Amino acid sequence: MKITGLKTFAVNAKMRTWVFVKIDTDQAGLYGWGEGSLEWKTRAVVGALKDFEAMLIGEDPRNIEHLYQKMYRQSFWALGVIGMSAISAIEQALWDIKGKVLSVPVFELLGGKVRDRVRMYTHLGGGDMKAVYETFSVEPLIELANNVINNGYTALKVVFVPYSKTIDGQNKVRRFADMFGKLREAVGQDIDIMVDFHGRTTPAMAIQYINTIEEFHPFFCEEPVRPENIDSIKLVTEKTKAPIATGERHVSIYQYKEIFEKNAVHVIQPDLCHCGGLWAAKKIAAMAEVYNMGVAPHNPLGPVANAVALHFALSTPNFLIQEDMLTDVPWRWDVVETEITSENGYWKVPTKPGLGIDINEKEAKKYPFKQEIIHSNSIRDDDNAILDW
């Protein structure tokens, strides 16, 4: 069995562009799908996927780890998020092929299921970028949160942390705490609320923000500071009582090493479309397990990424909860053919071989790539200085 080619599909989905890859083989009707969607780097990822094609032609697609090592190590230059997103997409497609060859769902190849359903959470506003990232008033915040709950979710994520300077005044801290308190009052004690800081703050500000909402018991506070400095993240963890999470912007197992060695957080968030794919994520999760850390994968991406995340969650003991973005565009399920379904905030166990999905290429081509909105262009201080979004 040999790989004969690679095709890419860039599908504009309003808030993001989904980057799908199809790996073809010399066996009639046998192919695999993967996803490497990366915000505002679509053309770069598509180019990287085509660059890797020459390494794959003629290889046996069942030798997944071998091909991962070939792409990673023989690239020579250290791979950043663009190269790792391309590898992740290819690696996922290889698992899809292997599951089809063996006539089993992918999670059976990853150790089998350790749970019977997978808990999900989502963001406010679905595919409306401003609703997700700029809901800074109480009334729309509560309305959007209730919409999420009415769709069956028992957990949701909010991103109303103020855009912050190195040090900001008490007004922002008080306004943030007031919004969280009113949200908690509105949704009750049975709904878990995660706060995505989106790397907008420094340790000095993150500690103040988190300590003011301690009484409302956030499920976790995500990426309180930019991810490059692990000591800064660890400082926030040490000075606050709420669980702290990070990891969506770390790629490869090597970038997680310092997080584990320093016990820097309580929850890690690898993105299976950026960290190297399913097997790399399983390695990261295994390291996290040694340090008693939970795993809550990052995934606001497309339908192939959802399928991949489901197989990971079903087979990973220290999995915690799964992010999704299922309401970004109304035609999401026209592009993908799948048996994967959800009920009351949980994904059900799939039974089809491989990842259990197929892309309707005709439908996908109805939404060709176009330049995404660069949301971060508008994130400025009152003196026009650039802030983290």
- Annotated active-site positions, please? 198, 298
CA dihedral 299→304→309→314, nearest 10 degrees, is: 150
